[in-house]
A and B are shown apart, each in its own frame.
Chain A
Amino acid sequence: MPNLNVQGVTKRYGKFVAVNNISFDAKPGRILGLLGPNGAGKTTTIRMITFITIPDEGEIRYGESMVGEKSQEKMGYLPEERGLYKKMKVGEQLMYFAELKGMGKAEARDRIRYWLDRFGALEWVGKKTNELSKGMQQKIQFIATILHNPSLLILDEPFGGLDPINAELLQDVIMELKDEGRTILFASHRMEQVEQLCDDICLISKGEIIVKGALSDIKRQFGKNTILMDFEGPDAFLDELVSKGAVRLGSRSTRHAELNLLGGTTPKQILEMALPHVSNITRFELVEPPMREIFVTAVSRQQSQQASTTV
């Protein structure tokens, strides 16, 4: 199955540069996490890949040829802001989406049955959309995205509105689709899911790519600089560490803390600081930073750099 190749792409709206000269690849059988703060340019990028809009500069190729009407039929796009025709029946609606993707009726009918069954939704086929709950609509939308057997999937927040059981079902299906060799673009703000699902990462901020590569490589680059600590007793020492500038707290609860080592602080120093205060330590581990940490660090670094260059 083909590669998706984004090469030097820029998109402007009037004077505003939404995406500035970005390049990345998405490979078959892998999930690429497309990350970034709100308004970073993710949706703009996705819309150019799906051929909804066209880049001002640069080119986007899927396989040998530029994206266009041909590649649209091989793509399945689940937008973040999504909806269905309220008064159409589930079956008719899915059939319409399949026909728009150029699918034959008989084949579409079989696949609609298969996927509705897979998501335990076969009995909804004759129901109108506005009779369904939000979670049910969510599943129907996902089915609409994969119905035509696309080799490139673009999923923008696919887990929104799903309960844990359905989220797990969806995750299984996504992994299955990946194992079949499809290329998957996954945009999300939920870093735990990104961490669980993604093989590669592309982090965009203010229209530019600031971090890009395999998730494991990126983590290694950032180094083992995070301590996960579970303890019992008072936690005032954490505030002391922060005020000294020795660490930054990633997350914190009554008996757990995630500390990022700053300015050459060593794990040993942390341990020495903690011991006099706490009554017990049940976990003390040096790990690679979680995705959330990489996200925050990279974005704030870029923004402070931009602030200093504009002054």
Chain B
Amino acid sequence: MSRNKIFVVAKNEFLKRVKTRWFVFTTLLGPIVMVGFFTVVGIVTATSLETNEKVISLRDETSRLESEFVDPSGKITFKATDSSDDELKKLVLSGDISGYLVLPNGLIEGTESARYYSTEGGGISNFSGDLRSIVRDAVRLVRLEDQAVSREVFEIINANVSLDSIQLSDAGEEQGSTAAYAIVGGIMGFLIYITMLVYGSVVMQGVIEEKTSRVVEIIISSVKPFQLLMGKVLGIGAMGLVQMSFWAILIAAGTTFSGAIIGLIGPPTGSNLPDTATQAEILDSIGFTIPDLGPEVFIWFVLFFLMGYLLYATLFAGIGSAVEQQQDAQSLMLPVMMPIIVSIMFLQAVLEAPNSTLSVALSLFPFTAPIPMVVRIAMIDVPFWQIALSFSLLVGAFLGAVWVSSRIYRIGILSYGKKPSLKELIRWLRYA
């Protein structure tokens, strides 16, 4: 009987929301907005790369280095000059040249530095790295020449030395895609963060609306507050799941056909792929490999998302019941939100060292667990006992949250007037 009423409430909450224009709008337009966003970022990046061709004036005071100045990528053109600083500065400021490079006499002995003047300053861009290595190569060549070492030796020393990262796991070894795993893990973690907050606050709004419109007293003369609370959380969770599934299908379709899509936009510059190139070849040519994730990663992703949502939505519902306006909820929400904020703050740290003590601790503590645990599962082989322990603790925390929230809720939804303090909420827990 009681489970039945939870279902009636959940069904109503679900249908009521799914039928709104807002839901249809966000579900359909969410991915379009997201794709649009990435397209804009892509276009901006691409155009900025194209305009990257620079003309640089070069004043070689040593008179020995100039002949060695070649940019292997061909994007930088060096023009030798004897002009004074003042004249060159004018040219830079007027935009006639991108900048000018001064190679002082002491550069070869290492007593002085090369100086690059531009309107952009140095920064840590690729460009300044490229420029540094061009200068370094030229200086090294001249230094070796001075010691009568042949050019072949330089070529030998300069030959490519590369390092591949290979991830070891029980299933064997996988090569090269650690970065891709981190990206997928990061996206999953962030998705959990966003959806937990968005759907959680939908629950809270629903509770506040029911309370301020005073419809709640009619409802709880038919169902227990606990059933209303659970029905609401589950119904809105179902709505979230529908929305997420729709997006997941789109993402899956997107990755399956991503090669074809990139092919449509135009083959990557500089690639000499035949028209018959496979998708993997196309993706390889732009330096991206689709990480090969097992189904268990997605299963755990869904499970941790669901439990994380349930935990926080339940707490948000409890808070919503205590207030009459959204603004009043802010101060009560802060302590509840802290763990989520902490877990997103340490996201970078978890991505960099998924097996560190910090990462393990964060992924076990139930209030922070969902995000770091999913990130770790996507990146590495997390020992099963850790996943099981984390999930059990999360379920335990959820049950605890239900106990706490349903007590606050029972009193809260019928309390009007002054906004209660955290202390009063704790006192409500003791009312039978």
Contact = CB atoms under 8 A, between A and B. Distances in A.
B217 A52 contact: yes
B16 A79 contact: no
Among B5, B8, B218, max chain A CB count under 10 A is at: B218
B213 A85 contact: yes
A88 B16 contact: yes
A96 interface: yes
A156 B4 CA distance: 29
Interface residues of A, number: 31
A32 to B, nearest CB: 18
B12 interface: yes
Contacts of B1: 69, 102
Interface string B98-128: 0000000000000000000000000000000
B335 to A, nearest CB: 24
B148 to A, nearest CB: 87
A75 B2 contact: no
Contacts of B215: 82-85
A125 to B, nearest CB: 16
B234 to A, nearest CB: 15
Contacts of B431: 13
A311 B248 CA distance: 74
B46 to A, nearest CB: 45
Nearest to B413: A52
A54 B5 CA distance: 20
A82 B210 CA distance: 11
B221 A77 contact: yes
B217 A82 contact: yes
Interface residues of B, number: 25
A84 B218 CA distance: 9
A92 B220 CA distance: 18
B222 interface: yes
Interface string A19-62: 00000000000000000000000000001001110101000000
B149 interface: no
B214 interface: yes
A83 B5 contact: no
Nearest to A46: B221
Contact of A100 (B209, B214, B222, B432): B222
Contacts of A100: 5, 8-9, 219, 222-223
Nearest to B4: A102
Contacts of B209: 86
A14 B221 CA distance: 23
Contacts of A145: 218
Contact of B213 (A13, A84, A144): A84
Contact of A82 (B9, B16, B218, B220): B218
A145 B217 CA distance: 12
B224 interface: yes
A52 B213 contact: no
B214 A82 contact: yes
B389 interface: no
B414 interface: yes
A145 B222 CA distance: 11
Contact of A86 (B213, B224, B432): B213
A99 B8 contact: yes
B213 A97 contact: no
Contact of A72 (B221, B414, B432): B221
Interface of B: 1-2, 4-5, 8-9, 12, 16, 20, 209-210, 213-215, 217-224, 414, 431-432
Closest 8 CB pairs of A and B: A83-B214, A83-B213, A100-B222, A77-B221, A79-B217, A50-B221, A83-B215, A81-B214
Given A50-B221, A75-B221, A87-B16, 19 more contacts: A52-B221, A52-B414, A69-B2, A72-B221, A77-B218, A81-B214, A82-B214, A82-B217, A82-B218, A84-B215, A85-B213, A86-B209, A87-B20, A96-B8, A96-B12, A100-B5, A100-B219, A102-B4, A141-B218
15 contacts: A51-B221, A69-B1, A69-B224, A77-B217, A77-B218, A77-B221, A79-B214, A82-B217, A84-B215, A85-B213, A97-B218, A99-B12, A100-B8, A100-B223, A102-B4
